[in-house]
Structures are given as structure tokens and as C-alpha cells.
Amino acid sequence: MIKLDRRNFIKGAGAGGATCALATMLPGSLAALEKEPLKAVGKEVASICEMCSTRCPISARVVDGKNVFITGNKEAKSFGGKVCARGGAGHSLLYDPQRIVNPLKRVGERGEGKWAEISWDEAYKMMATNLNRIKREHGPEAVAFSSKKGSLSGHFFHLAKAFGSPNTFTHGSLCPGAYVIAAKSMFGTKLKRDLGNSEYIINFGHNIYEGINMSETRGMMKAQSERGAKLVVFEPRFSVVADKADEWHAVRPGTDVAVALALCHVLITDKLYDQAFVERYVVGFEAFAAEVKAYTPEWAEGITDVKAKDIRRIAHELAAAAPHAVVDFGHRATFTTEEFDMRRAIFAANVLIGNIERKGGLYLGKKAKTYNKFAGETVAPKLAKPGVEGMPKPTAKRIDQMDKQYTMVWKNGGVYQSILAATLEAKPYQLRGWVMSRTNPMQTMTDRAKVLAALKKMEFVAVCDVYISETAAYADLILPESTYLERDEEIADKSGKNPAYYVRQRVVETIGNTKPSWQIFKEVGDALGLSKFYPWANMETLQLAQMNRDDKALRHIKEKGYVSYGKPLMLREPSMVAKFTDTYANARTPDDDGTYASALKFKTPSGKIELSSAAVEAFAPGRGVIRYRDAPLKRADELYFIQGKVAVHTNGATHNVPILANLMADNAVWIHPLTAGRLGISHGDAIRLTSSVGSETSYAMVTPGIRQDTVFAYMGFGSKNKELIRASGKGLHCGNLLPDSTAPVVGMNLHTTGVKVEKV
Amino acid sequence: MSKRYVMVHDENKCIGCQACNVACRSENGTPEGVTRLQVRVEGPFGQAPNLHFKYHRVSCQQCEDAPCVKVCPTGAAYVGEDGIVTIKEDKCVGCMYCVAACPYKVRFVNPETKATDKCNFCKDTRLARGELPACVTVCPTNALTFGDANEPDSEVAKLLNTKPSYQDKIHLGTKPRIYRIPTKRGGIES
């Protein structure tokens, strides 16, 4: 470990308080340390990326003690040993002089940018004093805990639980939540898509050629280039995925649900649907069929601008390719307030073509327990969950559970933005403290002004991050986490059609005074007097407990980094079942048709796919059956404002990473030539966008690759805190234009709104 | 037979994600502000809805008749036994004749070494270790293929024999060894 040498700190940091106004060098940043060669842990280390939330398996090698060459881990076949630009830039984050490597406390006003370095002991004391005071005076529920979902949110939420607060949140309601909740309401579980084996793919703006998810990106490219699959894209903007498609339909923003319903209408009306499948596996078909009767392609054309004859033709093509075809349920699910029915309508189209557990369709993940049961032997070890006994049960209700319609949301990360009303209006009760880990709501939650007001109103805010993010800038205390290249973590489940595990391992020795967040939150627990809930000593003991103390199996996973067990299995695919039964002598006997179709059960109240749901009707009256509802997203005199992902950045997280910031530092606004012409705007002109909540300036990119009634910008730019020196003030801040709005049932934040555009 | 290393860039499979660009920087320690390799996403061209982007790889073309080598007064820019155009840093005097002579505008002065620099197919690093160039190694969609075109069974030879391809600015007689498989609008041509 590099020693912290006080003499190496810049003069401006001062000896006593180590405070300074923000200049070129931040106190507590890596720049304040003397640069020393990276110390590699091994020659080539298999690990897990963290430059976005896909968390691809990687392999990393230190080059000349200066940087790290990162590529994909070849053990993970569907990832192909590949890595994207963000993944390849991990060392740029590791060695960014602006990364925070020492705990910091605020010494000026909140957000003023005055920081002092403190010891971990002092940081923990601050946590204990503040959190325990709020708990004593107002109850533990007055503190909200929010975190990026993933490897370490478990440790973070364990702290929340031990502390006694029910108010835990992930990024879910700001991005992917709706499709997960839609899937759970219909299938009782999440579903995965088998893009690589598909022959016909319908895609509603799921831009996996820019928002790269390595195995899916590769899967779709494989389907397109090797299988000749047809790709049909509905998206208001000409994205890279639209470019690679056979057909691009510039659908009106937020109206995708009408296209999906019209596809279902044609599948049912023209009797193209898989009647045997529906008969066997589906309840609620009649109610759904009665509802979609009115949703003709002609009706949809009026709403979506997609031609009726195209919708009809596409439905027929989809059915012809079934069951090796898929309607992609997307990722970012914040297009409309009708997200619940949009994602359900997409799933319904998949159900109608009977692609569940078929190649090229949708399938249920096969973890060790399920897989071993089918195989009749232990093919994959089961991961043990080292539980802690006697965890306190929170007495208070979650702030997002007063409204029954959000019943399904809390298990999926909660309605994150409900923190705003709870803090600003005490609805349903007052929040007073906010602890965050690797989450940046100032960028990713809508209505920046409200988020800012909420942060300022809090009595105590603590943020664990690698940078002084736009959110961390308003904290009282910053807990610096080690980068993923410096951390060891638990074994993670990566099962797909067969079980698989992988593990994050440190590649270089820790630089500076950072810690992995599992350790930070264990030590915070100690400081809060909650030690009894942390019976493990370190990560090694946790990993061993996961593997039921099987040291050999653990070493195997660590050596390979990624281990897959058995052969891919889809229950209704005869060829796969045949290979499976050939491999495992004691495997379950197939049905007469050579499949495991009779074993396909769903964790819904009926045990079947619930195309219409009585359970949903009970907690959200009127919502049991999938239905179209108008969702006004802008005023007549406004343009739609939509956003999307770019391949070189991760929303709200990577914009200060040097290599990535150099590749793309700001976000131009895409505007159609005719729209630009009417507004007197030329390519490159500075323009202002004004919405109901905010105003932002950027510059125009005049392009035919966008609808005339729509403007687009890539998300995550325009940070307003001065600590992110490379990102600050560059480009347009999307969250500052989007109003605070929450979709029914799924609790999603809304990312489509109306704006007025003018030249400045 | 001598080696003839070539690279094939399939513009159908390329998604312009810059994974190649970043991997190149990591492997070759390319300093900020200069680049050996990037893919420019140009366009869209055409009439909506029949638009298309062009995915344009910008890097040394490894010309068989390289203008940079011809103009170099010191022999710093040279063709190795493997046919790869590369640079002897200690012989470079920084006259920048090669930078001016390159019709593809891909040579630059490295601000750290003060010598000219550009893509050399990772000759000293990855090729020396028997590995593929960094860009090829990481490319998410397998859009890049590298190998010896004189080897009939090589992947590059097979690709060039079966797919239409083009090279940039061949009228200059430079004989570039970066081949490009052009985009076929409307789906991915396999």
C-alpha cells in the first residue's frame, strides 16, 4: 500500500485542518498523493467490471506498473472475452488524480465545496453521532438508505436493517424497474431474453449497441450476422440500434404501448397466436383478448405515427418466425407514465407467440437449485446465504408503501424518488438523514432542483463514492470507496440457461486511504453499536461460508474468475432437453414430446402466466387487465425531450474519468433540420431548452435522425458541482429539465417531457 | 512466403463504441490529446427513414507503399521484416515530414517521447507476445479481424475472398492494408 506521506500534500491543504477552496487540487484526492507505480496482485487477474451495472467478467493485467490492460474473461463464453470502452478505461478511473482517496467532511456550507480530510475513526464517529441521534429523537425510519444495486448493496442494506430503517432504495425506479415488476406480475419472476438464437427481434428503443450489455449486444449481433435474424426497431431517434435494424420506425415518444397492443390485436384477431400454449400456460386470456379487440393497427397509427399496414405485416412476420422470435422488453423503462402496461403489453406479445423457454425467446434463469433438481445430481454447488440471526424488524412502514398501488415495488428497490416528498413535505412522514452508496440522484433522479432542496433540508447526509459526485458535493461526509480494481468481493450468481458463478478480485494493491464498501459499512455498524449483526471477520470468511467451506471449489472459482456448470437448458426446447438427458443419467424423464414442458410452472397465485391479474386488480383497482390509457407527455406547443445512453459513458458515474471524458465531454441536442429551420437554429448554435421545471443550454446537432417533434440528448452530462473538473458545466443536465413524476403501479420516474427550444 | 499483415474492419458489425480506441490507449500508453485509433461515426446519410451511419476507422493504414517512409530523412519511419510500418523513436528528429506526407492524417508527435507515433498493429507489445492487436482483442461485436493475408487459411484471407471490401484512397497508390467491408443498409450482412 502506498503510504500517506503528509509532506506530499500540497501547501494549500494546510497542516491543521487541511481545508482549501476548490482549486486544481482537491484535498483527499489522488492528486494529493505522490504517484507511485501500480503494484499488481498477480500477473493476470480474473475479476468483474464496475464501470457500469452490467458487471461483465473481465481479465486484467498491469502494464509496466503504469496502467491496466483490461479485456473480457474468456471463460465467460457469451461475453466472448470482450470489453467495452468503459470497461477498458478502468485504470483511468483508478489513477484519476481527482478520485477521492481519503475521508472528507464538509467544512463550509452544504455544496460550497469546502472539505477537510479526516481519519476513518472520525468519519465513523460522525456517522454514529448523527445517525444514532436521529434514531433516538425520531426513530430509525427517519434515515433513508439508497445504493446502486449490485455486489455491495447487500452489505449496505444489511446496515440499514440492523439500524432499523425500512427505507432502502435502489436505482430501480429511475431506470429498469418497470419491466421487472411487469414480469413479476405476469410470470412471478424475472425473465431473460435469448437474443443470440432469435430469428426475428422487435425492439422498442432498447439500444444495446450503445447501452452495451456485452452478452446481449453480442447475442443480437450474432443473431443478425450469423443467423440472418430480422431486427425491427421502434424508436423516436435514429440510434445505432436503429441503424443496424432492417426497419426503423420513428414512433412517437412514449406511445410504444399502442404498437405493442396492436401487435397483440393482430396476433389474436388473425389467429396467429400459439393457442395450445395459451390453453396450457395462461390465465386471463379472455379478458385480455376482449380488451385488445379495440386496439387495431389503424387505431395505433393515429397515436404512434407507425403505419397500420406495417404493424399488421410485422405481427404476421413475428408469428411466422415464432417461437424463435422475441419482442424485447427493453431496459430503461421510463418512457411514459403507462410503463406498467407498456411492458406488460410487450410480454403479452411474447406469450402469444409461445416463445417462453424456447430458443430465441424468453426464459427463466436456471440457478443451481433448479438445475440440480432436473439433473438428479449436484452439477453446480449451491451458494449458501450466511444469514444473521435476530435481525431487527423495522416497526415503521416504508415511505412508499402507504399507497397500496406500489405493493410490488419495494422488493424491487422501492420508489426512490419518494424520498423527495418525504423530505420536503413530510409525506407520509419526515425523513431527516440520507446515507448513500454509489448512487447519484442529482443526475439520475428527475427534477434536480427538488433533489437539491431535499439534500439541503436533510439533517445529515453521508455518501460513499469514488468521486465527489454531483450528489456527494452536498454531503456532510464522504466515505471513499476503493475502486473495483482494488476490491475482493463475494461470489456472485451469474446463472442463465445453466448455473454460473463469478467473483470480483483485486488487481492492484489499494492506493491511498480507501476501503471496500463492505468493510466501510461493517465498521459503520461497529461504530453504531451494531457489531452483533456482523459475525464475519473479512471477505475470505464470507466467501468460504458461501461455498459451504469448500476451499477447493472456492479456489477454482477464484482461479477462473467465472465458472459455468452443465449445459444450457430451456425446458420446452427438445434438442436441449435431449442433450441434457444424455449428459445426466438421473435426469428427470422428459415428457412424451421430448421436453420438460410439464415442469414449467410460474410463481404466480395461479401457477400460470397471468395475462390478466386478480392480484394486481386487488391492490391497484382497474389495473388487473392490460389497457391503453392516454398519457400526456407534453403540451401542444412543446417538443418532446427524450434521452438515451452512449457507449462511452455510464449515466451519472463516468463523466469525470479522464479517458472517457476526453472521448466525450458534453452532449449536443439532436434536432431535426425542419424544426431547427423553423426556430432559426443552425448546426452548432448554442440553444436553450426550457421545461416546466428548468432551463438548460447546450448546442444544436441538426440531423435527420430524429422526429420533427422531438429533441434528444445523451444522459448524464452537465454536472453543476465544481469538484468534477472534467464534467462540470459541460453539456446539458437532463435531470434539470425533467419534472418529478411517478408512474402508477411500477413507481417509475418519467424521462419524457415537453420543452421549448430557442437559440441563444 | 513473406507475411502480409492486414486488418479487416466490418462496418456492418461495427457499432462505433470506441472499445478499440480505449484498449489501444491502455496497451500502448497513448498520452492524452493524441490518438492512434478511433472510429468516427459519421452521418446519418440518406433520406429518412432510409438513413445510415458510416463507421469510419481512422488509424495508420499500414500502406505497402508508405509515403511516410519515403519522406523520412533519418530512417526513423521504416518497414520491418514483417512488413509493418513502424517508427524507431531514437532516430526520429521531429521534422514532421511524415505527418505532412500521410494522406490519411494519422501520424502525430507523441508529447511524451517527442517522436512521431501511430498504430503499428501493437507490434512491440501484443504481437511480440503472440497476441492479437488490442483493438481486435476487445471488439465487442467481432468487427475487426487481423492476420496474414498471404496465409490462405487465415481468417482475413477467407474474409477478403468472400466479402466485398474496399480500401481508402487507393488512387494514391499507397496500397493500404486496412480493408473495410461496407455497410449494407437494412440489416447486418453476414
Q: Which domain CATH number covers A511?
A: 2.20.25.90
- The chain B residue lying nearest A209, using CA atoms, is B15
Give the per-residue pLDDT at A64. 77
**Complex-level ipTM:** 0.95
* Residue numbers of the domain that contains A677: 639-759
* 8 Å CB contact of B187 and A245: yes
Q: What is the mean pLDDT of chain A?
A: 94
Position A69 in a domain: yes
Percent of chain A with pLDDT strictly greater than 90: 92
Higher pLDDT, A48 or B2: A48
Question: pLDDT for A695-721, tens place per residue?
Answer: 999 999 999 999 999 999 999 999 999
Q: Do B15 and A80 touch (CB under 8 A)?
A: no
* A30 inside domain: no
For B5-61+119-181, which CATH class? alpha beta
> B139 vs A82: CB contact, 8 Å cut-off?
yes
Residues A65 and A94 in one domain: yes
- A212 and A340 together in one domain: yes
Q: Would you call A87 an interface residue with chain B, using a CB distance cutoff of 8 Å?
A: yes
Q: What CATH number is associated with residue A419?
A: 3.40.50.740
Query: If you average pLDDT over residues A362-368, what whole number do you get?
Result: 98
Q: Would you say residue A272 has pLDDT above 60? A: yes
Residue A406 lies in a domain: yes
Chain A nearest CA to B160, separation (Å): 17
The verdict on a CB contact (< 8 Å) between A244 and B15 is yes
Give yes or no for B79 touching A (CB within 8 A).
no
pLDDT band of A33, cuts 50, 70, 90: confident
Q: Is the pLDDT of residue A14 over 90?
A: no
The answer to whether the Cβ–Cβ distance between B19 and A217 falls below 8 Å is no
Task: Pick A225's closest partner by Cβ from B13, B22, B49.
Answer: B13
Tell me whether residue A595 is in a domain.
no
Query: What is the rounded average pLDDT of the residues A464-471?
Result: 97
Q: Is cis: bond before A392, omega within 30 of 0?
A: no
Measured between CA atoms, the residue of chain A closest to residue B183 is A244
Q: What is the pLDDT of residue A65?
A: 77
Which CATH number goes with the domain that contains A735?
2.40.40.20
Per-residue pLDDT averaged across A163-182, rounded? Answer: 97
Q: Which of B129, B102, B131 is closest to B118 using CA atoms?
A: B102
Q: Residue A9: which pLDDT band, with cuts at 50, 70 and 90?
A: very low
Tell me how many domains chain A contains. 4
Q: What is the pLDDT of residues A529-550, one digit of tens each?
A: 999 999 999 999 999 999 999 9
Asked whether residue A607 is assigned to any structural domain, the reply reads yes
Please give the Cα distance from A530 to A163 (Å, whole number): 7
A651 and A697 co-located in one domain: yes
Confidence at residue A37, expressed as pLDDT on a 0 to 100 scale = 77
- pTM listed for this prediction: 0.95
Chain B residues inside the 8 Å CB shell of A212: 15, 17, 140
A498 shares a domain with A561 = yes
Q: Judge if A296 and A347 occupy the same domain.
A: yes
Residue A7 has pLDDT above 60, yes or no: no
User: Cis before residue B152, ω within 30 degrees of 0?
Assistant: no
Return the higher-pLDDT residue of B185 and A641: A641
Domain ranges of chain B: 5-61+119-181
Whether A529 and A559 share a structural domain: no
b/e map of B148-163 (b: 16 or more CB within 10 Å)?
A: bbeeeebebbebbeee
Mean of all residue pLDDT scores within chain B = 95
Residue A714 lies in a domain: yes
On the CB side of A87, CA atoms within 13 Å amount to 30
Local structure of A81: helix, strand or coil: coil
The percent of residues above 70 in pLDDT, for chain A, comes to 97
A648 touches chain B (CB under 8 A): yes
What's the pLDDT at A13? Answer: 31
Q: What is the pLDDT of residues A207-241, one digit of tens each?
A: 999 999 999 999 999 999 999 999 999 999 999 99
Which of A82, A238, A660 has its CB closest to that of B51? A238
Q: Residues A215, A84: one domain?
A: no
A541-586 pLDDT, tens digit per residue, is 999 999 999 999 999 999 999 999 999 999 999 999 999 999 999 9
- CA A305 from chain center: how many Å? 30
The greatest distance separating any two alpha carbons of chain B, rounded to the nearest whole angstrom, comes to 53
Alpha helices by DSSP H, A203-336: 214-226, 240-243, 256-269, 275-281, 285-292, 297-304, 308-321
**With an 8 Å Cβ cutoff, are A70 and B25 in contact?**
no
- Residue A211 in any domain: the answer is yes
Domain assignment of residue A381, yes or no: no
pLDDT of residue A5: 35
pLDDT attached to residue A2: 34
- Is residue A308 located within the same domain as residue A425? no
Same domain, A330 and A204: yes
- Of A147 and A67, the structure prediction assigns the larger pLDDT to A147
Which residues in B5-27 are b (16+ Cβ under 10 Å) and which e? bbbbbbbbbbbbbbbbbbbbbbb
| Predicted pLDDT of residue A300 | 98
Specify the residue for cell string 425473465.
Answer: A191
CATH of the domain at A269: 3.40.228.10
Q: Cα(A577)–Cα(A572) distance, rounded to whole angstroms?
A: 8
Once rounded to an integer, what is the mean pLDDT over residues B138-157? 97
pLDDT tier at A624, thresholds 50, 70, 90: very high
Better pLDDT: B189 or A406: A406
- Evaluate if residue A337 carries a pLDDT over 50: yes
